[in-house]
Amino acid sequence: MRKAAIAIMMLAVLVSGCVRPAVNTKLAPLAYIDSVSSSQIYVGEKVKFSGHAISSTGQIVGYNWRSSVNGNLSELASFETDSLTAGSHTIWFKAQDNYGNWSDEVGTNLTVIIPGGPEKMSIRVFTATPPEIKDGDWSTLTWDVSGFGNVRIDPDVGDVSMSGSRAVQPRHDMMYTIYARNDEGTMTANTRILVTPLHVYTTTLYSVAAEDGTVRKDKVVLDGVMVGQNEMQIQMQGFLSFDISSIPRDAIIKDVDLDISKSVVVNSPFPFQGSLNIYNQQYGSYLRPSNYMVIVPAGYLYSWNYNFVATMMPSTPFTSPDFVTTLQKQLDAGSNRYQTRLQFEKYYYYSRADYTEQRYTGAYSGESSANYLDVSAGNAKLIVRYVLPE
């Protein structure tokens, strides 16, 4: 009886593919204030607020707006009011998901003044600190405006409060302009940030064939990198190893592209196998059967074919900030290798996908049907761009 139960469990794993880990219901959502119709109003004047929130594990079911002066204002995502009293307000916004988790509050400033006649606005301060930076560094814009009206900074900053600061990262020389507008006219001021460009080095690294390979649940295959399922319906995971010793140890990685666009597509791994996920797995010089994992780990570097949109490999390389982070970590640790694992994953919505097309029926009718990517046939390569500190 026990042997029969084990056989049923193994069959279930082969049929269902990879299982996604349990959802973490304790993750708080993220709230965002999208817009405030004005940063200064007169008493009795209407002002409109709009916000939204994102939950990675559930649904947004509640909102809360409050004023540091007037208390709670609304439980809607967007609302307008004309009942704010005179004074300097900090408006706070938060959201709740269906698991009862509240987001952190986000805030914005609003000034409510008593009408006393029009005043011309004045830009007291508008500076950039430091005024000269190297490419990739940050500078801080600081401003202070008096009077009543609207304030905006261009380019790329937008509407702002009457006073404040904002970190910016221009990639070339940039002139910033602040506009202070009301019925009496528009006042402007400029500040320039000079950017010293750094030379960007580019290197192309092809995978190390002797350290690449395929891991199945039953054995390790070293003569190719296959991802998907073979003719026996056995799942396969591919592994790629890149020699990064040619990159200087003090290099600052700017961009990383993983190019497997020339992989050979055998039959229809998309969308039958699910999404192609790429993981950070530093397995060393040798592949072992223990590298095979049925449970999909959290935190992939990149996912292709999300929501079953794709049906084939893209013609462009994969790129992700996570490639930069993990490669920089390997470089800083003094490692000569950067390695990745590739596998398909079927998500919870797998059963809702439409597989009525004839070319997908073989896998369900019991016929031998291989559906995989031959990554090694496409000369997998890593394209790294980096700068050196001066």
Q: Transcribe 112-128 into DSSP letters.
A: EE--------EEEEEEE
Quickly count: other Cβ atoms within 10 Å of residue 28's Cβ.
18
Average pLDDT over residues 85-112: 89
Q: How many residues does the chain have?
A: 390
Assess whether pLDDT exceeds 70 at residue 217: yes
Calpha distance 199→249 (Å, rounded)? 16
Assess whether pLDDT exceeds 90 at residue 128: yes
Q: Which candidate, 145, 155, 157, places its Cα nearest to that of 182?
A: 145
Average pLDDT over residues 270-298: 81
Calpha distance 142→160 (Å, rounded)? 11
- C-alpha dihedral over 266, 267, 271, 275, to 10 degrees? -10
| Domain at 190, CATH number | 2.60.40.10
pLDDT band at 16 (very low <50, low <70, confident <90, very high): very low
Write out the two tokens for 71: 């208390």
Last residue of some domain: 60, 78, 113? 113
- Region of poorest pLDDT, from 21-30, 119-128, 162-171, 350-359: 350-359
Q: Are strands 139-146 and 163-168 parallel, antiparallel or unpaired?
A: antiparallel
Calpha distance 314→294 (Å, rounded)? 26
Residues 219 and 311 in one domain: yes
Assess whether pLDDT exceeds 50 at residue 206: yes
Average pLDDT, the chain: 83
Sheet holding 318-319, edge to edge: 201-206, 381-387, 252-259, 318-319
Residues 132 and 103 in one domain: no
Calpha distance 335→247 (Å, rounded)? 11
Bridge partners of 153? 158, 178
pLDDT at 349: 43
- Region of poorest pLDDT, from 30-44, 138-152, 314-328: 30-44
Q: Which domain holds residue 161?
A: 122-196
Assess whether pLDDT exceeds 80 at residue 11: no
Residues 345 and 374 in one domain: yes
**Higher-scoring residue by pLDDT: 206, 115:** 206
pLDDT at 79: 95
Residues 238 and 343 in one domain: yes
Please state the domain count of the chain: 3
Task: Provide the residue type at 200 as one letter.
Answer: V
pLDDT band at 149 (very low <50, low <70, confident <90, very high): confident
Q: Is residue 1 part of a domain?
A: no
Helix (H, G, I), strand (E, B) or coil at 321: helix
* pTM tops 0.85: no
Cα first-last separation, the chain = 70
Average pLDDT over residues 358-386: 72
Last residue of some domain: 167, 196, 225? 196
